[in-house]
Amino acid sequence: MHFIKKNILCIAFAAIAVQALPAKTLSSAPDTLGKFDAEMLGFETRPGYVLPTKAFFRGENAMGKPIRNALSAHLRYSFKFSGNTRLGRLYPGAYQGIGMSYDSFSDANEIGRPVAIYLFQGAPFAHLGQDMTFGYEWNFGASFGWKKYDAETNPFNDVVGSYINAYIDLGLTFHWQFSSNWNLVAGIDITHYSNGNTNYPNYGVNLVGGKLGIARSFGAVSGYQAGKSQSRHSETLKPYLSCDIVLYGSTKRKGINWPDASYLVPGSFGIAGMNINPMWGFNKYFKAGASVDAQYDESANIKDHLAGTAHSGDLKFYRPPFREQFAVGISARAELTMPLFSVNMGIGRNVIFKGEDTDCYYQILALKVSVTNNAFIHIGYQLSSFHKPNNLMIGLGYRFR
């Protein structure tokens, strides 16, 4: 499972590379007939406020002081699809790319100075005048270099349990093209770092902050305003039916709560699942439908199969019958569809299950990264009962339409 954690970004980047292979990169020559309308290199700084979600942030740390401040520096490459392409005509103004950030907290000794590598995508909501747009942007990736909890060397840090954590960011962004090739970027964002319940503790780090940066564009149609002319007569999409089939796997940690005690089970448990998700595409941005979600969870209901305690003090369990580890649920799904990426959200409930652990509602948030016209990489996260971390959903999907 470490393969997935360490290489998921490589897989995702490969997906983009597959799409981008025919195109030139960072061309300085005009290429209006090429695949990309504009390519940009940008630099941003993002000061942030660390939300005091745990006592560790409020001052119960080795430093003895609240941890409030964070600052990150981002180097980013992005591109837009040309109006000569179907994606460019469908989604004028949308941009996507790869970024790298260096993060610093006021207590680096206990948290670390992680470096994140991430994918991002944005699109304008509105054009404010000739040279300014207002839109959204999400970032998703992995951050490396965290100092995780250790009972001996880092005992106060009960928020970070992994050296590698997922990086998720959602923001509102202004872009101002103040010269032919230069853009000013400003905005606000919220950021979440956690390990997706692959290790404990998994409370994660949450930030709210702002961002300020500058981007240099390359190409005949410059910067974030590229595509503006097409947007007035952008291509539409007829309503359509599609069905996504996703196979995924993951690992998860398992904590057990009894009325008078809690126990973190050593090791990581395997997860495997499949989603069959027919959806109706209402327009080019939005799809909705239902999904049949089958999942095998190696850790499900082990609480009911406690065997005893080893000499080391570790609890041992009998492997629950497959019937108690496997559940099938039905969920309602909604999906934001953009070039290369789709963001899928779902709320569902297990309908075929046995045992307390699988008798629950579940919530899914997933990013689908297109690899081909029909195949995609699925990077998802599942909660149960709206608040309990459940598991990552790393896999592959295929879209029938």
Partner 1 sequence: MNNCGTLEKIVIASICLSSFCGCNNDVFIDDFKPSTSEMDLNGDGDSATISFAHSDWDILGTLSTTTQSPLFGNIYDKDGKMISSQQLFRCEDLCKMEYDDGLTDFTMERYAYDKLKINVGENIRSEDFEVSIYVGNQYDFKTVSINISPSSRYEYERMEYSSDKMQQWNDFKETHSFTIDNQSNDTIVAQWRPYQDQYRTISFTSNDPAAFRLLGSEKVQVRLPKIEDGKLVLDGDCDLDYYPSQGKVSHTFPDVVKNIAIAPGEFLCTYILDYQCFETDFTMYARNPNTGKERAISGKFSSRLPVDYYHTMQKIL
Question: What minimum distance in Å lies between the beta carbon of 328 and partner 1?
Answer: 18
Can you tell me which of 65, 86, 319, 401 binds partner 1, judged by CB under 8 A? 319
Report how far residue 286's alpha carbon sits from residue 297's, in angstroms, rounded to the nearest whole number: 31
8 Å CB contact between 236 and 273: no
Please identify, using beta-carbon distances, which residue of 298 and 359 lies nearer to partner 1. 298
Most distant pair of Cα atoms in the chain: their distance: 73
SS3 category, 198:
coil
The candidate with the shortest Cα–Cα distance to 74, out of 14, 15, 114, is 114
Question: What minimum distance in Å lies between the beta carbon of 294 and partner 1?
Answer: 14
Residue 309 interacting with partner 1 (CB under 8 A): yes
Residue 278 interacting with partner 1 (CB under 8 A): no
Residue 316 interacting with partner 1 (CB under 8 A): yes
Please identify, using beta-carbon distances, which residue of 21 and 29 lies nearer to partner 1. 21
Strands 95-105 and 112-127: antiparallel
Residue 274 interacting with partner 1 (CB under 8 A): no
Question: What minimum distance in Å lies between the beta carbon of 266 and partner 1?
Answer: 6
Angle ∠(209,210,215) on CA atoms, nearest 5: 140
Residue 217 interacting with partner 1 (CB under 8 A): no
Residue 298 interacting with partner 1 (CB under 8 A): yes
Residue 401 interacting with partner 1 (CB under 8 A): no
Please identify, using beta-carbon distances, which residue of 114 and 397 lies nearer to partner 1. 397
SS3 category, 68:
coil
Can you tell me which of 247, 256, 292, 347 binds partner 1, judged by CB under 8 A? 247
Residue 307 interacting with partner 1 (CB under 8 A): yes
Residue 272 interacting with partner 1 (CB under 8 A): yes
User: How many CB atoms are located within 10 Å of the residue 186 CB?
Assistant: 14
Report how far residue 88's alpha carbon sits from residue 86's, in angstroms, rounded to the nearest whole number: 5
37-45, 51-59, 346-354, 368-376 -> range binding partner 1 (CB under 8 A): 368-376
User: How many CB atoms are located within 10 Å of the residue 60 CB?
Assistant: 12
Residue 302 interacting with partner 1 (CB under 8 A): yes
Please identify, using beta-carbon distances, which residue of 185 and 371 lies nearer to partner 1. 371
* Count of chain residues binding partner 1 (CB under 8 A): 43
Please identify, using beta-carbon distances, which residue of 1 and 294 lies nearer to partner 1. 1
Report how far residue 17's alpha carbon sits from residue 11's, in angstroms, rounded to the nearest whole number: 10
8 Å CB contact between 384 and 369: no
Residue 396 interacting with partner 1 (CB under 8 A): yes
Can you tell me which of 233, 238, 311, 387 binds partner 1, judged by CB under 8 A? 311
Residue 310 interacting with partner 1 (CB under 8 A): yes
Please identify, using beta-carbon distances, which residue of 155 and 267 lies nearer to partner 1. 267
Can you tell me which of 90, 185, 360, 394 binds partner 1, judged by CB under 8 A? 394
Residue 119 interacting with partner 1 (CB under 8 A): no
CA atoms within 13 A on the CB side of 291: 29
Helices (H), 163-248: 228-231
Can you tell me which of 22, 129, 239, 308 binds partner 1, judged by CB under 8 A? 308
Q: Which letter does DSSP use for residue 320 in this model?
A: P
Estimate to the nearest angstrom the gap between the alpha carbon of 60 and the chain centroid: 29
8 Å CB contact between 201 and 161: yes
The candidate with the shortest Cα–Cα distance to 165, out of 187, 191, 138, is 191
**Which phi and psi angles does 18 have, rounded to 5°?**
-60, -45
Residue 341 interacting with partner 1 (CB under 8 A): no
Query: Beta partners for 65?
Result: none
Residue 317 interacting with partner 1 (CB under 8 A): yes
Residue 238 interacting with partner 1 (CB under 8 A): no
8 Å CB contact between 163 and 148: yes
By CB under 8 A, name the binding residues for partner 1.
1-4, 7, 11, 14, 18, 247-251, 265-272, 298-299, 302, 305, 307-311, 314-319, 371-372, 375, 377, 394-396
